[in-house]
Structure 1
Amino acid sequence: MSLGAHLVELRRRLFIAALAVLAGMVFGYILSDWVLGALRAPITELAAAQGRDASLNFTDVSAAFDLRLQISFTVGLVVSSPIWLYEIWAFVMPGLKRHEKRYAVGFVLTAVPLFLAGCAAGWFVLPHMVSLLTGFAPEGSTSVLNARDYIDFVLKLMVAIGIGFVLPVFLVLLNFAGVVSAASILKSWRWAVLAITLFTAIATPAADIVSMFLLAIPMVLLFFGAAFIAWLHDRRVRRTQQQFDLELPAT
């Protein structure tokens, strides 16, 4: 394909992804009350555990409406993840052969659960973060949290961790497509562990070391799991090639 054809293809796939996210936003707006209640749960638990007043504060007239739009967008991003993840993969790997198209299906079936698992992991460590960070406030004080900043922190945390959980799938599929080998993946394990550590350190507060490791450990395991799958694939390819060479007639 020419550069112009690639750009047209990119525009088409981005348009499909945007429509999927937009449809998910409608669904997210319907669920915004329930989602907001679930996101406020750590604040309620904080007030009960620490014996202090804790609440979300809306600082301006449009803050509540803006917050609902933000929740709707994030829910739409999560709900529509099967579609936009497929569109990303389909654009990155347009040159696959017919029998390799099943990789796209495998990507979606694997990436979506991992993305949702990453979001769930972010949600799992959230109460610990809230309790730790607000625990530095003096005894008897009131925790009045800006609703926009709090929800922005929570949603970005969940989406970022979800995307982080999907990255090992890209490594496996790039290996299946012959772009990278298992040896090159394993050779870069130190850089991968460093990158994962930095990523989780940025995603979590600096004072919350426990949450950082709770997120980093499964991501490191996923990286080595991807390297192991790539190693199995490379070994199978070598055996197939050796068998093919043995069956070639001597010339």
Structure 2
Amino acid sequence: MPLADHLRELRNRLAKAVLALTVVSVAAAFYSQQLMEFLSSPVPRCTKGLGETTGGACAVIAYTDLLSPFTTTVKVSVMAGVIISSPIWLYQLWAFVAPGLHRHERRYSYYFVSAAVPLFFGGAWLAYTVMPISMRVLLGITPDGSANILPMDKILDFTVRMVLIFGAAFELPLLLIMVNLTGLVSGRRMLGWWRGVVMGVFIFGAVATPTTDPFGMIALAGPIIVLYFMAVGVCVLNDRRRRRADPDAELDDDEASPLDLTPQDLGEGERVSVSPVLPEQVRGSVDGTPSPRHNGYDDVT
């Protein structure tokens, strides 16, 4: 299509995506109270009073300013709208990009999405499971005689950050498999990186998790390491399949493939007899008449 038609289609796709996001966000606003209770449920709350239960490892959720209830409700509604309407706006994005892809690229895209979505939700579920324990560990450090008053908007930011970090970290094995499928890195080379990868994953878990406690770091790093070795196993199997299909697939561009120079007998039936050709038969006869082999034309013609 011309550029103007592409821009017009992009405008229509974006309009449909924004309309779906707006409708779902408005509908989610009526359930904002339930959504905020669900997102703040990992926080251990004080039931009797500040610090009177669970040895001080509890907190009271509060709103710190006049606009905080309104801004928190809008934030939760928009976040719910983005998540719930994701099938619609993702489809609009795919419908705009898919016509420019080849058939095998579309197939790989389907595989990527079918694997990326469960991995992300698995990381989000793990984050939601780990958060109550991490929060108890952090709140348990509170000195005696002190109280924990947590703003609601800070709790929501903390919860969303944890879910996004865990969900995005679980996509690492899928990216490794994609790099291997393109032929950039072999599975054997990935396996040789395991010491650095394990150290890097633990460092990432210590820096990326907002809780800064050892439990959260181990809870994030442990599953990623397991998924990493599973991805390396898939890459090794893919390399073996590729080697069986094409023995020269793993050769470098500057490396020559091995040649078999052993002489072989062609057999009696495959020998070709070649009769000698005189120069005058190629360029013309000696007496000036054209050679019938070239229909009267010389080599240049």
- State if a TM-score over 0.5 links the two structures: yes
Matched residue, 1:104: 109
TM (normalized to structure 2)? 0.64
Matched residue, 2:235: 230
Task: Write out per-residue CA displacement over residues 4-59 of structure 1, whole angstroms, 9 at most, x where no aligned residue.
Answer: xxxxxx99999988777666645654543222112332334555533687311211
Matched residue, 2:35: 35
1:57 maps to 2:49: no
Greater CA drift, 110-119 or 77-86: 77-86
Greater CA drift, 93-102 or 156-165: 93-102
Higher helix share: 1
Task: Write out per-residue CA displacement over residues 89-123 of structure 1, whole angstroms, 9 at most, x where no aligned residue.
Answer: 99999997523432111111111011011111111
What is the CA–CA distance in structure 2 between the aligned matches of 1:167 and 1:11, rounded to whole Å? 33
What is the CA–CA distance in structure 2 between the aligned matches of 1:17 and 1:36, rounded to whole Å? 25
Letter in 1 for 2:162: L
Contact 2:24 2:81 in 1 (8 A): yes
Task: Write out per-residue CA displacement over residues 103-149 of structure 1, whole angstroms, 9 at most, x where no aligned residue.
Answer: 11111111101101111111111011111111111335322112222
- Indicate how the Cα distance of structure 1 residues 84 and 125 shifts in structure 2: closer, same or farther if over 3 A, else same: farther
1:197 maps to 2:212: no
Q: When the two structures are aligned, how many residues end up with a matched partner?
A: 238
1:152 maps to 2:157: yes
Q: What is the aligned counterpart of 1:115 among 114, 120, 123?
A: 120
What is the percentage of aligned positions where both structures have the same residue? 37
- Indicate how the Cα distance of structure 1 residues 70 and 133 shifts in structure 2: closer, same or farther if over 3 A, else same: same
What is the CA–CA distance in structure 2 between the aligned matches of 1:50 and 1:31, rounded to whole Å? 33
| Pairing of 1:141-180 with structure 2 (within 5 A) | 141-180=146-185
What is the CA–CA distance in structure 1 between the aligned matches of 2:142 and 2:33, rounded to whole Å? 29
Which ranges of structure 2 fall in alignment gaps of 5 or more residues?
Answer: 1-9, 48-52, 250-301
Could you tell me how far 1:203 is from its partner in structure 2? Answer: 2.9
Query: Which structure carries more relative contact order (alpha carbon 8 Å, separation 6+)?
Result: 1
Partner SS, residue 60 of structure 2: strand
- Indicate how the Cα distance of structure 1 residues 63 and 90 shifts in structure 2: closer, same or farther if over 3 A, else same: same
